[in-house]
Amino acid sequence: MSLINFHTHSGNQTFEEGPEIHSLSWPEENHELLHEQGLFSLGIHPWSLGQKKIDWDEFERMILTIYERDNFFALGETGIDLVKKNHLKEQEKIFEKHIQLANKIRKPLIIHCVRAQNLIIKYSKKYINHTPWVLHDFNANEQMISDMVKRDFYFSLGPTILKETSKIRQNIRLVPIDRIFIETDDSNYSIKHMYNEMASLLKIDVNALASEIEKNFLRLKYFDEFTKS
């Protein structure tokens, strides 16, 4: 049984349970690209904005030199965080540039979304034929889940699902299983623990869950081929 960890900041490089996507933030973790062995994603995190000057042209040039590497899986994480309202306009600007770049290089987009679901949906309507979008450590109420399912989002479920009072835990069965991924994010939980918890919530065998997520992973990785077939 392979347990895919869709989004982690640990980058432990052991891959004992299965593949993992190491999330790297530019420019803070740019140096890690030199020795990254496993799958990785790279993007400008909304928290980085305002802390230092972001040179988008430099970032895009760098992406265009690495996106054909076999282990470069996705662009991001990027997105909009309404808790960090001071730089909202810049967040939206950089997020939109990520959308355009993901479409150009034909890579999925991993999205950080905090209290900004309506804004994210707005951009999904603007870019109708965008590459697949994955909302990481997703948390939302029943109506928002329904709206995002209709927009064909994928949902990576992380440590928030373990909180008894979280909206996503209460509404987990509304998320289609063919749209689910599981992640550890920056927590100390093992991916095995996350899969066991998710399987219990969904009332499904953990092996069956892992099999479904592997199918989702392959569909995402080869989305252009699946679209043509």
pLDDT in 10s for each residue of the chain, 229 residues: 799 999 999 865 555 789 999 999 998 887 677 677 799 999 999 999 977 789 999 999 999 999 999 999 999 999 999 998 778 999 999 999 999 999 999 999 999 999 999 999 999 999 999 999 999 999 999 999 999 999 999 999 999 999 999 999 999 999 999 999 999 999 999 999 999 999 999 999 999 999 999 999 999 999 988 766 5
229 within some domain: no
67 within some domain: yes
Cα–Cα distance list, 123 to 60, 94, 96, 198, 221 (Å): 20, 12, 8, 30, 22
94 within some domain: yes
21 within some domain: yes
Q: Domain range for residue 79?
A: 5-222
Total number of domains in the chain: 1
In terms of Cα–Cα distance, which of 62, 37, 1, 3 is closest to 195? 3
Q: How far apart are CA 116 and CA 128, in angstroms?
A: 19
- Look up residue 168 and give its amino acid: I
Q: What is the CATH number of the domain that holds 210?
A: 3.20.20.140
